[in-house]
Structure 1
Amino acid sequence: MTALLEGRAAIVTGAAQGIGLAIATALVEHGARVTIADLDGDKAAAAAAALGGAARGVACDVTSEESVAALVSGAVEAFGTLDVLVNNAGITRDASLRKMTLADFQAVITVHLQGTWLGIRAASEVMREQKRGSIINISSMSGKVGNPGQTNYSAAKAGIVGMTKAAAKELAHHGVRVNAIQPGLIRTPMTEAMSPEAYAATEATIPMRRAGEPDEIAGVVAFLASDLASYMTGAVLEVSGGRGM
């Protein structure tokens, strides 16, 4: 059986660890060549080395127009094409409304919204010329239901949904698909930093009664990246164990 992504080339941002690394791993397993991009270039290089010759690791600041442009041009130079972009890079700066600083609000908005927009813009320039491509934006269930202490993050993740739909409408006639995924509680270093009480309380709200694994997000990304999802654009897929229905 031919691999789902045989001959395709992909970029995954924020991919040195966690969900991003699981996504990069799944894309390689399905036959893609992958550029692992991360603010920490050394960790990106180490992650790529562990995946073998089908992956390369580079440093990228997704908030920088020049850095994102270099990421895309470098990936095309290395692999000859760009078929898939996964906008996964993100940060959190949680605090209540009373205690959140303007700097923490702006940092989260800039990484998620500006970073995703710069990625879509740069990748779509290549993809529209090729008349094909799949862009997958990682949103969050926080962007649907809102989380206390995350007015910045919830706003940013909701914004990614609107951006996904607008870009999907602009790029559809060029053969470029743009979709989003909203993960729920996923077992990563970021969520494992939660207090045991908060983690257990969140898990109790999930109909499937467990947190998800990074691989369970990665599988949905591989689907959206592939021709199995050839008639899907502007879709927002909830991968949350039923939380937030």
Structure 2
Amino acid sequence: MHYVSAENLSKSYGIKPLFQNISFHISEGDKIALVARNGSGKSTLLKIIAGKETAESGKVWIHKDVDVAFFEQEPQLNETATTLDNIFHSGHPVLNTIKEYEALVENEEDTPEYHHKFGEAMIKMDEMGAWDFDAKVHQILSKLKVHNFHQAVNTLSGGQRKRIALARTLIDIGFEHKHVLLIMDEPTNHLDVEMVEWLEHYLNKENVTLLLVTHDRYFLDNV
């Protein structure tokens, strides 16, 4: 099954051609890396496939059953919202249930009101069948060292913001049961060695269809 078909894509930056007449297919299970010199339009091509930019000529077809998840080199976050609100942004009932539960776990209190809320949250987790996915969410957040759930993202460092965006992307695709194409632009920036190794393992375990730009040769070889 072809997830993506591109035909004769061309794009310029001013009068300088970035690429001309590029054609390709991405099929289910493919893991493809774009390798070229800086300034040759790799990030631009990713944005075109993700629907963030348009080509000057040519066409891109995305299969109707495929969802595209795009992790950008400069991720867009809701600046005034909290870490938790940025991560659980989709509004899906199961994700909202996990969001409420994780917020209570991080801010534990020894009060009757807290214990009542926590009990209700656990009942709701049971009713929604959310425990298995919560375990995956918890692993992603802990491995990427995403903490400070109630802090506004505009008070965080660039590295923290990048990890929040990466966690959000991985949670989105982990929850999605349909066919997913994951597009990643320099995902290992701001990650330490331990995080990079975990991400390699995670992407291999999840068996995602992947289109990637990275300068990290070891990461490229291992995914």
TM over 0.5: no
Higher relative contact order (CA closer than 8 Å, sequence separation 6+): 2
TM, length-normalised to structure 2? 0.29
TM, length-normalised to structure 1? 0.27
More strand per residue: 1 or 2? 2
More helix per residue: 1 or 2? 1
Greater C-alpha radius of gyration: 2
